[in-house]
Amino acid sequence: MLQEHQLRQLRLVLRHAQATVPYYSRTLGDMDVERLDWAGFLALPILQRSTVQAQFNALASRQPPTSHGRVSPGQSSGSTGKPIQFLFTMLSQLFWKALTLREHLWHNRDFTGKFSAIRVKIEDGHFSNWGPPVAEVFQTGPSATLNVRTDIAKQLEWLQREDPDYLITHASNLGALAELSIERGVRLPSLRQARTISETLRPDLRDRVREAWNVEIADVYSCEEVGAIALQCPQHEHYHVQSENLIVEVLNPDGKECKPGETGEVVLTTLHNFAMPLIRYRIGDYAEVGEACACGRGLPVLKRIHGRQRNMLKLPNGSQHWPSFPASLWRAIAPVEQFQLVQRCLDEIEANYVMSRDLDEHEAAQIVAALQDRLGFPFRIRLQRLPSIGRSAPHKFEDFISALP
């Protein structure tokens, strides 16, 4: 039933794309989209990120429906070093707002509480309400905002002063705040929930946030080109695909749909953005498909979001996986402030760390042994102390990067 509704909307998008989008006029040709079934949809060509970057003008509709409202430009953060330009309409933005409200309501948040945000693209400020879209529908308590580029110690001091009920920030930033809170014994007495956006959660982050503030994380899987992709179930740690607005495929290397328990590439199709339709768009993320959820929502499940292919460890035997080396592993050995692994060849890992001093010989040996154990191979570990470790974009810190050709 869900696929039938999606196909009905998809046919409208494809008809519009054939008629008004040069790229799809070429690639779809004279296809009879009115007779398109699910098998026909799965046979449509994959749209690569590189194509979106190179053919922005050809992917823009020449006649977006006037009833969909103003067309606006947008740009992704460029976490891979290559930002994506895109267009969206007021209608497609309305769906993003509706899904944001859905996420709030799913988690039964108390809108009379205080809301705080530490993220990119905002300025420091205090406001009488939570802002759009919540304040457009509900009466709310106050809110406070802080730019994520603020020093992490000052962020924590700001949170202590503001004492919010809810906090939204980027996952790596939340991790840094939680680690510093644990180190300094700082509690946030009013905090009820932490919300994370735009980054993959590291495996130990939920536990560290519980340890720091005794609250749970509610994560949102999204990208700027399409908005919310999947929302965390309020009863579980897995995610529900927002299928009313997107078709989300998870494909194995053969291009077949993954089954529950399998991990594959995420491919998206927008269903309401007629200014720049993205049909079977490969965004570069990987996710694990989950079993149907008992919560009753009836939406497809993603059990885990793994992140980009560039965050995948490759072993000399040809196997590959997403590495897990929680902060507790290296903090138990030495007072390391920040840690990042870079794989430049198959049998060696560059381990960059930030600390007030060099690791001593015993600490270095312990960290090397612990990393080899966690990574599942006796890699040569090249430890390198740095004054700081930058982010790949204004708000994204990647703790593992594959630099293999």
Residue 397 or 44, more confident: 44
Looking at the domain assignment, is residue 117 inside a domain? no
Asked if residue 10 lies in contact with residue 41, where contact means CB atoms within 8 angstroms, the answer is: yes
For the record, the structure tokens of 31 come out as: 């296809």
Quickly tell me which residue has 């308590």 as its tokens: 141
Indicate whether 316 and 374 sit together in one domain. Answer: yes
Angstrom distance (rounded) from CA 187 to CA 200: 25
Position 339 scores a pLDDT of: 85
pLDDT tens profile 189-230: 999 999 998 778 877 899 999 999 999 999 999 988 999 999
Indicate whether 292 and 318 sit together in one domain. Answer: no
Position 395 scores a pLDDT of: 46
Indicate whether 241 and 383 sit together in one domain. Answer: no
Indicate whether 303 and 327 sit together in one domain. Answer: no
Q: Where among 310, 328, 359 does a domain terminate? A: 310
Indicate whether 244 and 383 sit together in one domain. Answer: no
Indicate whether 92 and 8 sit together in one domain. Answer: yes
For the record, the structure tokens of 156 come out as: 């924590």
Alpha carbon 22 to chain centroid, angstroms? 30
Say if residue 186's pLDDT is above 50.
yes
Position 276 scores a pLDDT of: 98
Within 10 A of 112 (CB to CB), how many other CB atoms are there? 11
Q: Where among 294, 310, 326 does a domain terminate? A: 310
Position 199 scores a pLDDT of: 78
Task: Check which CATH number belongs to the domain holding 81 and give it.
Answer: 3.40.50.12780
Say if residue 327's pLDDT is above 80.
no
Angstrom distance (rounded) from CA 309 to CA 316: 17
3-state secondary structure (DSSP) of residue 376 = coil
b/e map 317-341, b = 16+ CB within 10 Å = eeeeebbebbbebbeebbebbbbbb
Say if residue 124's pLDDT is above 90.
yes
Looking at the domain assignment, is residue 185 inside a domain? no
**Mean pLDDT for the chain overall:** 91
For 383, the domain range is 312-402
Position 331 scores a pLDDT of: 78
Number of domains the chain is built from: 2
For the record, the structure tokens of 198 come out as: 């735009």
Indicate whether 239 and 90 sit together in one domain. Answer: yes
Within 10 A of 286 (CB to CB), how many other CB atoms are there? 20
Indicate whether 296 and 337 sit together in one domain. Answer: no
Q: Where among 290, 310, 330 does a domain terminate? A: 310
Partners of 126 in the β-ladder? 144
Task: Check which CATH number belongs to the domain holding 331 and give it.
Answer: 3.30.300
Q: Which of 162-171, 248-257, 319-328 has the least mean pLDDT? A: 319-328
Position 240 scores a pLDDT of: 98
Indicate whether 354 and 370 sit together in one domain. Answer: yes
Say if residue 392's pLDDT is above 80.
no
**Percent of the chain scored above 90 by pLDDT?**
72
Indicate whether 333 and 264 sit together in one domain. Answer: no
Within 10 A of 54 (CB to CB), how many other CB atoms are there? 11
Indicate whether 290 and 333 sit together in one domain. Answer: no
Stretch 11-36: mean pLDDT, rounded? Answer: 95
Position 79 scores a pLDDT of: 47
Looking at the domain assignment, is residue 194 inside a domain? no
Indicate whether 289 and 317 sit together in one domain. Answer: no
Looking at the domain assignment, is residue 389 inside a domain? yes
Say if residue 100's pLDDT is above 70.
yes
Position 81 scores a pLDDT of: 44
Looking at the domain assignment, is residue 304 inside a domain? yes
For the record, the structure tokens of 342 come out as: 């870079």
DSSP 299-310: --EEEEEEEEGG
Looking at the domain assignment, is residue 257 inside a domain? yes
Position 80 scores a pLDDT of: 43
Say if residue 273's pLDDT is above 80.
yes
Partners of 189 in the β-ladder? none
Q: Which residues contact 403 (CB under 8 A, 6 or more apart)?
A: 342, 343, 344
Position 394 scores a pLDDT of: 42
Looking at the domain assignment, is residue 344 inside a domain? yes
Asked if residue 244 lies in contact with residue 220, where contact means CB atoms within 8 angstroms, the answer is: no
Q: Which of 146-155, 231-240, 250-259 has the least mean pLDDT? A: 146-155
